[in-house]
Structure 1
Amino acid sequence: MTVQEQLSISAPTRGVSPVELYDFRRPTTLAREHTRVLELAFETFARQWGTQLTAKVRVMSQVTCELVSMHNYDEYAASLPATTAMVLCSIEGLAPKAVIQFPTSAALSWVVNMLGGTGGGGVAERKFTQIEHALVRRLMEDALEDLHYSLGSLLGAPMSVDGIQYNSQFAQAAATQDLMIVSIFSIRVGEHTAKATVAVPAEALLPQLGEANPTSTTANAKQLIHDQMAWVPVDVSVQLASARVVPSMILGLKVGDVLPIPHPQHRPLDVAVDGHPLARAAVGANGSRLACVVVNGPAATIEEKTA
């Protein structure tokens, strides 16, 4: 009996969500450290893409990165509209392709603006003509350069536009279980806003991200602790020898009282860290400020206490 069958027998059917199998050998979630690195890269791409659209479409444009996540290709394709523009991009050395997806109506309005029109929002979803295809492809080639620049060392392999597909269910950019890094964007061109996605094969990016929680060897733990402690700030004070008194004497102190200190006049002051004397020093000056000249180092002081 499987887990699903057992749950269906022992638990009430009303209000029970279906059980989904999870393959721990291929986790579909990103580590927090990896997510932050990818978010910064795709935010850089969003700024570059918005600037490029403004220059090419000649209308003030803004692109915002909203979410970065990881899904298998089947889940990603299922989340897209049935009719949409999917620019398939080849990555050298990899079979899966990257995808830049956006509504065809949004791309058609960009083309209208590029050709001197007003770019109205009433454009229907349809395939591109040859001229529209050439203009959109050129826009995507420039966007692909921005994407490669933004990813930097995360993606060293060259990328190129392979083609444009219009059916999300028929466009086979990768195998159904191949993991994809999916980023969702909001594109605002003039008064019109559209959603777009960029999907990059995870195997192209994850190796460069490294381990999520890297560990270091403990063979040199002593040296590491020593190096770290050497840069921890501490408070250093120069003190007279302490005097032991009874509480009644402290409570009865008033202005003008003389409190004898058992510190010989010829003896240097104690240099203390956190109340522990480590060296001895004579009173001096450094310009207009008081200073102390160390006359007995920490090693000698420790030897005297031990003796």
Structure 2
Amino acid sequence: MTRPDNGPAPGSPAASSRPAGHRRRGEPRTYDFRRPTKLSREHVRVLQIAQEAFARQATTVLTTMLRAGARLELVGIEQHSYDDYVATLPNPCFIATFTLEPLAGKGLLAYPLDIAMSSVDHMLGGSGAADQPDRPMTVMETTITNHLLTRLLQELTASFSHIVQLQPELSDVEYNPQLAQAAAGSDTVMVASFTMAIGSRAGEATLVLPFSSFAAALNNAASPQLSESAQAKRRRAAEALEQRLNLVPVDVSVRFTPLEVSSDDLLSLAVGDVLLLRHPQDAPLEVTTNDVTFAFAIASNHRRRLAAAIVPTPSAAQKDTA
């Protein structure tokens, strides 16, 4: 089944100018009712936070290691069967597979082969602008690229740490999409699409993760549920905090209404001078802490010591009288 679309027809100049596997927003796409959507809106939100963090960190890694302008930006996250995803990849294409310990299954990172070749050129001190060979990498080129991929997987670990603790390890590099066996053909995978640019070259990169391996972790991240022991620990911490706060000493002052004095009068004060407080006789004193008035009082005494008896606030007293 396909969804209607107002985009350019296949074979038109606008359609032929797009790279293979690239789908514009609003174009029709296949929907298999035998495999309904498993990615909820909450799952996508959690994944988007992780994938955007990965894109930012990967941009820094690429720029630093290649010593060239680089950019990786998240475009979107979709669900596909693995066979449907592989069908969108051009042949040849640079495809790196990696394990997802302690989770089962494999992940996959794919991007255009010419960008992978130009990355090697950059790391060897070249400009990356020359025409790149359309062939599998040599042993030396693979070793150099593996160092870059290892750094990217480290950033993937950090970006997904709020979802699950991963220890990804680079598994294999392939160039024919049909030979990249990262999952069974009918398995549901989560495909994050990125725009990737290195120097003057740009293309589409995809990061593929198996849904079944991440399902439980995504559910917990979207709707975190604390265990009974964790909830009990949190309650004990809250009770201990409340008890300690009740024992914290606080400086309290009882003062007359503040008096405003000009700078000239203040500088001319001498011993024996008298300042008129101008505090009304029937007005209560202010009880303050850290310059915040929280109560009112009247002067009193308690066992031959000066004291302050707390009284209602003036506004409350007026309301009661009314």
Other-structure match for 1:128: 137
The yes-or-no answer on 1:22 pairing with 2:33 is yes
The yes-or-no answer on 1:62 pairing with 2:71 is yes
Other-structure match for 1:154: 163
Matches within 5 A, 1:2-151: 21-23=32-34, 26-120=35-129, 122-151=131-160
User: For residues 212 and 150 of structure 1, what CA distance do their matches in structure 2 show?
Assistant: 13
Shift of 1:173: 0.8
Aligned length: 208
| Structure-2 change in CA distance of 1:93 and 1:44 (3 Å) | closer
Match of 1:27, SS state, is coil
Other-structure match for 2:269: none
Other-structure match for 2:200: 191
User: For residues 68 and 21 of structure 1, what CA distance do their matches in structure 2 show?
Assistant: 18
| Structure-2 change in CA distance of 1:172 and 1:295 (3 Å) | same
User: For residues 119 and 75 of structure 2, what CA distance do their matches in structure 1 show?
Assistant: 21
User: For residues 173 and 195 of structure 1, what CA distance do their matches in structure 2 show?
Assistant: 19
User: For residues 84 and 96 of structure 1, what CA distance do their matches in structure 2 show?
Assistant: 21
| Structure-2 change in CA distance of 1:294 and 1:62 (3 Å) | farther
Structure 1 gap ranges (5+): 1-16, 217-283, 297-307
Shift of 1:210: 1.4
Other-structure match for 1:14: none
User: For residues 152 and 222 of structure 2, what CA distance do their matches in structure 1 show?
Assistant: 33
Which amino acid counterpart does residue 63 of structure 1 have in structure 2? L
Which amino acid counterpart does residue 22 of structure 1 have in structure 2? F
User: For residues 186 and 318 of structure 2, what CA distance do their matches in structure 1 show?
Assistant: 70
Match of 1:173, SS state, is coil
TM-score, normalising length: structure 1: 0.61
Contact 1:84/1:125 (CA < 8 Å) preserved in 2?
A: no
Other-structure match for 1:166: 175
User: For residues 29 and 67 of structure 2, what CA distance do their matches in structure 1 show?
Assistant: 50
Which amino acid counterpart does residue 50 of structure 1 have in structure 2? T
Shift of 1:190: 2.0
Contact 2:163/2:221 (CA < 8 Å) preserved in 1?
A: no
Contact 1:100/1:198 (CA < 8 Å) preserved in 2?
A: yes
| Structure-2 change in CA distance of 1:292 and 1:181 (3 Å) | same
Structure 2 gap ranges (5+): 1-27, 226-310
The yes-or-no answer on 1:176 pairing with 2:190 is no
User: For residues 180 and 163 of structure 2, what CA distance do their matches in structure 1 show?
Assistant: 25
User: For residues 104 and 38 of structure 2, what CA distance do their matches in structure 1 show?
Assistant: 22
Which amino acid counterpart does residue 214 of structure 2 have in structure 1? L
User: For residues 193 and 18 of structure 1, what CA distance do their matches in structure 2 show?
Assistant: 24
Other-structure match for 2:235: none
Contact 2:103/2:166 (CA < 8 Å) preserved in 1?
A: no
120-129 or 166-175: bigger deviation: 120-129
- The alignment yields a C-alpha RMSD, in angstroms, of 2.9
Shift of 1:187: 1.3
**Cα-to-partner distance string for 1:211-270 (whole Å, 9 max, x where unaligned):** 7997x9xxxxxxxxxxxxxxxxxxxxxxxxxxxxxxxxxxxxxxxxxxxxxxxxxxxxxx
Matches within 5 A, 1:273-292: 291-292=315-316
User: For residues 19 and 158 of structure 1, what CA distance do their matches in structure 2 show?
Assistant: 34
Contact 2:106/2:183 (CA < 8 Å) preserved in 1?
A: yes
Identity across matched positions, percent: 31
Shift of 1:131: 1.1
TM-score, normalising length: structure 2: 0.59
Which amino acid counterpart does residue 175 of structure 2 have in structure 1? Y
Which amino acid counterpart does residue 71 of structure 2 have in structure 1? Q
Match of 1:83, SS state, is coil
Shift of 1:32: 1.1
User: For residues 31 and 73 of structure 2, what CA distance do their matches in structure 1 show?
Assistant: 32
User: For residues 70 and 33 of structure 1, what CA distance do their matches in structure 2 show?
Assistant: 14
